[in-house]
């Protein structure tokens, strides 16, 4: 009977940990909810993700279907965002391009975060020559401006969406490595880490169960902000012809095509540009709100 009670209710330590997590979440939500701009940014991100998932099934036209009887038409009830120089419906292309943009943003940041955090934690936890080798390599990558490093990488690999993800992911690695290293240096000096070591826990177990959970907050904030940077970089590469290739409805490529018609049909360039602005702004203000909510120094 006593064992059954422990199974159902958990140990006192587990209950205390659960209560502590609930309190922390309530404090986080209170801070985040009071930041109205961050809340709007979060709602916009949810809406963008829903559009990326379900939007392509609801668009009125094929995004690559050309209609030379409807070239450069302005916004109307038939073509909500107008048509481009090939008579393609810009609204349909914007909706289909949403999934491409978010895929590049999330995938590149996930790649950079996974590799960068792993290297940063190893460097911060073990220190000495391991730290020196890893961080000097990160310094070399940081010496190059992000867009130039991505441009150089994609020039070698070739222009495609997957290569853009790889190039943007690589230039994201040093940022995550430095943040995770700095946080790990603080956490590894805590007394309970020394106690866990004294009990014979392996380094892998200490890193997974005790180090990573305590350094997640700045990493999550940086990941959110980096998605905006990745979207801008990927759009810039496509604008230069090094990213998505025609007829892919990628916003940077659409913006590049539309610049030739700025005077005759400004909507061809301005609408993809506004779409990029909305996505970048949403992730930036959401990231700022997360940073304020996760900062323990911020007053309730």
pLDDT grade, residue 60 (50/70/90)?
Answer: confident
Question: Angle at CA 125, nearest 5°, toward 120 and 130?
Answer: 70
pLDDT grade, residue 47 (50/70/90)?
Answer: very high
Q: Averaged over 239-256, what is the pLDDT?
A: 86
Question: Angle at CA 212, nearest 5°, toward 49 and 113?
Answer: 45
CA-to-CA distance for 300 and 297, rounded, in angstroms?
Answer: 9
Give the Cβ contact number of residue 156 at 10 Å.
8
Residues 134-162 have pLDDT tens digits of: 999 999 888 887 788 888 888 888 878 88
pLDDT of residue 221: 87
Within a 13 Å sphere around the CA of 151, how many CA atoms are in the beta-carbon half? 14
CA-to-CA distance for 250 and 234, rounded, in angstroms?
Answer: 9
pLDDT grade, residue 296 (50/70/90)?
Answer: low
pLDDT of residue 247: 84
The percent of residues in the chain predicted with pLDDT above 70, rounded, is 87
> Can you give the residue ranges of every domain in the chain?
31-53+87-294
CA-to-CA distance for 285 and 278, rounded, in angstroms?
Answer: 11
User: Rg (Cα) of the chain, in Å, rounded?
Assistant: 24
Give the Cβ contact number of residue 270 at 10 Å.
14
pLDDT of residue 5: 42
Instruction: Answer whether residue 117 shows pLDDT above 90.
Output: yes
Helix (H, G, I), strand (E, B) or coil at 149: helix
CA-to-CA distance for 216 and 157, rounded, in angstroms?
Answer: 32
pLDDT of residue 46: 93
Superfamily of domain 31-53+87-294 in CATH is: MetI-like (1.10.3720.10)
Instruction: Answer whether residue 218 shows pLDDT above 60.
Output: yes
pLDDT of residue 226: 92
Q: How far is CA 121 from the centre of its chain?
A: 20
Instruction: Answer whether residue 187 shows pLDDT above 60.
Output: yes
pLDDT grade, residue 106 (50/70/90)?
Answer: very high
pLDDT of residue 48: 93
Percent of the chain as helix, strand, coil, to the nearest 5? 75, 0, 25
Tokens linked to 264? 């005759």
Q: CB-based burial of residue 218 (10 Å sphere; 0-12 exposed, 13-18 middle, 19+ buried)?
A: middle
> Is the Cβ–Cβ distance between 94 and 277 less than 8 Å?
no
Listed residue (107, 127, 114) closest to 176, CA to CA: 114
CA-to-CA distance for 179 and 216, rounded, in angstroms?
Answer: 10
The percent of residues in the chain predicted with pLDDT above 90, rounded, is 34
> Is the Cβ–Cβ distance between 241 and 158 less than 8 Å?
no
pLDDT grade, residue 288 (50/70/90)?
Answer: confident
247 prior amide bond cis, ω within 30 = yes
Give the Cβ contact number of residue 181 at 10 Å.
24
**Paired residues of 83 in beta bridges:** 89
Instruction: Answer whether residue 54 shows pLDDT above 80.
Output: yes
Summary mean pLDDT of the chain:
84
Q: Averaged over 41-69, what is the pLDDT?
A: 89
CA-to-CA distance for 163 and 237, rounded, in angstroms?
Answer: 11
pLDDT of residue 228: 92
Comparing 289 with 131, which gets the higher pLDDT?
A: 131
pLDDT grade, residue 2 (50/70/90)?
Answer: very low
pLDDT of residue 152: 86
Listed residue (88, 93, 94) closest to 67, CA to CA: 88
Tokens linked to 128? 């000495």
């Amino acid at each position: 009977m006593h064992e059954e009670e422990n199974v159902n209710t958990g140990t006192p330590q587990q209950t205390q940990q659960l209560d502590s997590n609930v309190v922390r979440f309530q404090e986080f939500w209170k801070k985040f909810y009071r930041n109205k701009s961050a809340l709007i940014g979060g709602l916009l991100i949810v809406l963008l993700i829903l559009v990326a998932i379900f939007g392509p099934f609801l668009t009125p036209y094929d995004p690559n279907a050309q209609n030379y009887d409807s070239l450069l038409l302005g916004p109307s009830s038939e073509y909500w965002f107008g048509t481009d120089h090939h008579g393609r419906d810009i609204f349909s292309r914007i909706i289909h391009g949403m999934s491409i943009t978010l895929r590049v943003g999330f995938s590149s940041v996930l790649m950079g975060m996974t590799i960068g955090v792993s290297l940063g934690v190893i460097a911060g936890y073990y220190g000495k020559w391991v730290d020196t080798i890893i961080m000097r390599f990160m310094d070399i990558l940081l010496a190059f401006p992000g867009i130039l490093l991505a441009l150089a990488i994609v020039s070698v690999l070739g222009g495609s969406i997957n290569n853009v993800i790889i190039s943007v992911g690589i230039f994201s690695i040093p940022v995550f490595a430095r943040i995770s290293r700095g946080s790990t240096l603080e956490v590894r000096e805590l007394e309970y880490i020394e106690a866990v070591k004294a009990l014979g826990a392996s380094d892998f177990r200490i890193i997974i169960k005790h180090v990573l959970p305590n350094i997640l907050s700045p990493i999550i904030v940086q990941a959110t902000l980096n998605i905006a940077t990745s979207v801008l970089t990927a759009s810039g590469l496509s604008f230069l012809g090094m990213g998505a290739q025609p007829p892919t409805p990628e916003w940077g490529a659409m913006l590049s095509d539309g610049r030739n018609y700025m005077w005759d049909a400004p909507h061809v360039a301005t609408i993809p540009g506004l779409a990029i602005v909305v996505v970048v702004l949403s992730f930036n203000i959401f990231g700022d709100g997360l940073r304020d909510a996760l900062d323990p120094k911020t007053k309730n």
